[in-house]
A and B are shown apart, each in its own frame.
Chain A
Amino acid sequence: MMNLIDEGGKRLDGRSFDQLRPFSMQAGLLKSASGSAYIEQGGNKILVGVYGPRDSRSRYGTNQDKAVLRCRYHMLPFSTEERKSPQPSRREIEISKVIRDALEPALLLEEFPRSVIDIYIEVLQSDGGSRGASITAASIALADAGIPMKDLVSAVAVGKVNGHLVLDLSDTEDKEGEVDLPIAVMLNSGLITLMQMDGKLSEDEFRQAIDLAMGGAKELREAQRKALVQKYFKEVDS
């Protein structure tokens, strides 16, 4: 097994176990989109555009009672070390679905019957935990688009490397570690909207992992709020 933690208890990139990678978020940078956001988290650089609610051109795939949420997670050819084919891969289709499912519980889609809301996620540069970063950013973009939502969704992964529980896995830790557990949460209600797990954890470790994730999500949520405040209220305060 690769040694991912040094004698001083630091991870490969010098972080402690409960530390997030450096991150920054920005809201509302695309003019033609209804709402947009950009996030950098570790090596991830992800741009999200939300379009809609808008009239669906066809009856197919619409719902008479609420808006239909559609999501596309896409990695650009230059986002990985080796060129990635721009065609949607099996992994991207799966991630699109889990992101959609992680965001939908937060949205009040009943307000826009028969319409569609599209979320386009473009990964410009990828690192570990890109689905979490995508959810965090998409949540900002949805708020920016003015789509009514119960709460912002914040997402982060917890993992186990060399027997230690750690927060916000990097790509190497994700690949070489024992466990990867991405979690998305609406912090007001504590409702978890995404949880996937690779590997095994004991019940005790699992509880600790959730606590660790909640701590990370709290920090990310603060940054989500800041990004929105920056766009909407910054000029007001100055």
Chain B
Amino acid sequence: MEDDKAGRYVLPGDFLGSGEYKSWANAIKIGDKFYATRVGVLEMGEDRIRVIPMSGPYIPKLGDVVIGKVIEVMPVAWTLDINSFFNAFLPAQHAFRSFDPERDELSNKFKLGDLILASIAKVERGRDSMLSLDGEGLGKIEEGEVFRISQVKVPRLIGKKGSMVQKIEELTGAQIFVGQNGIIVAKGPPESITKVKRAIEIVETMAHMSGLTDKMEDLLR
């Protein structure tokens, strides 16, 4: 494609470069040559090479704030669907002050179908990750409309230091929760929700556009 390598768009199997790179992501090393493994944008540093993916599943990372749906209430934990290839579990201790399995009934706190804003507390290869409610604003989301966005576009939706999501909240009058896993919950009157839906569609289709936060006002009108 282009001669200028960094910032160039790559597809699986595209030759990225050769040499001594210490770390690489979404790329594979064959001999001393590197090839892309995902559709994305190439980023090259001194000793690292990586492809920022444009599609793909959500992979839980420690500390990520996600929105999960309760799909199972077990004796001492809840199982949540976090829109990934694994479920996650939330131990009961996080929701009860001093949890006693004989006294406390889990479904009194969160029932099947509840949406919960939680952070990823532990990730282990090949196992369900563990969630935690330690953190500001984490817990059950009482009401709202659920939207989905491709997880690779979540950073765009949040914006620099939350600028984009704040802008959308400001313009629509809705309260918005964004999970790193691509689940969004918006709370507010119906006309606000309609606007939020538009805003999410705009981010989804125009994520690559620069200065989108400033343009959002005109686009939403």
Contacts and interface: CB of A to CB of B under 8 A. Distances in A.
Interface in B151-203: 152
Contacts of B13: 149-152, 186-188
B14 to A, nearest CB: 8
B206 interface: yes
B147 to A, nearest CB: 13
A128 interface: no
B219 interface: no
A67 B11 CA distance: 22
A113 B39 contact: no
Contacts of A67: 85
Interface stretch (B52-60, B91-99, B112-120, B132-140): B52-60
B110 interface: no
A23 interface: no
A228 interface: yes
B86 A150 contact: no
A108 B28 contact: yes
A196 B129 CA distance: 43
Contacts of A201: none
B39 A232 contact: yes
Interface string B8-33: 01011101000000000010101000
Contact of B39 (A108, A115, A144, A151): A144
A188 B37 CA distance: 12
A139 B55 CA distance: 15
A144 B54 CA distance: 9
The B interface, classified by DSSP as helix, strand, loop or mixed, is loop
B55 A115 contact: no
Interface in B32-52: 35, 37-39
Nearest to A63: B126
Interface string A147-166: 11111100000000000000
Nearest to B8: A233
Interface residues of A, number: 35
A112 B85 contact: yes
A202 interface: no
A64 interface: yes
Contacts of A225: 11
Contacts of A54: 85
A213 B8 CA distance: 30
A229 interface: yes
B221 interface: no
B67 to A, nearest CB: 17
A190 B39 CA distance: 21
B125 interface: yes
A148 B38 contact: yes
B123 to A, nearest CB: 12
B12 A34 contact: no
A235 B12 contact: no
Contacts of A113: 125-126
Contact of B126 (A114, A145, A149): A114
B37 A149 contact: yes
30 contacts: A34-B57, A53-B57, A53-B85, A55-B85, A55-B86, A113-B125, A113-B126, A114-B86, A115-B86, A143-B39, A146-B38, A146-B54, A146-B57, A146-B152, A148-B37, A149-B37, A149-B38, A150-B13, A150-B28, A150-B37, A151-B13, A152-B13, A187-B13, A188-B15, A188-B30, A189-B30, A228-B39, A232-B9, A235-B208, A236-B208
| 7 tightest A-B CB contacts, nearest first | A146-B56, A151-B13, A146-B55, A53-B85, A148-B37, A115-B85, A113-B126
Interface of B: 9, 11-13, 15, 26, 28, 30, 35, 37-39, 53-57, 85-87, 125-126, 152, 205-206, 208
Given A151-B13, A152-B13, A235-B205, 8 more contacts: A113-B126, A145-B55, A146-B55, A146-B152, A150-B35, A188-B13, A189-B30, A229-B9
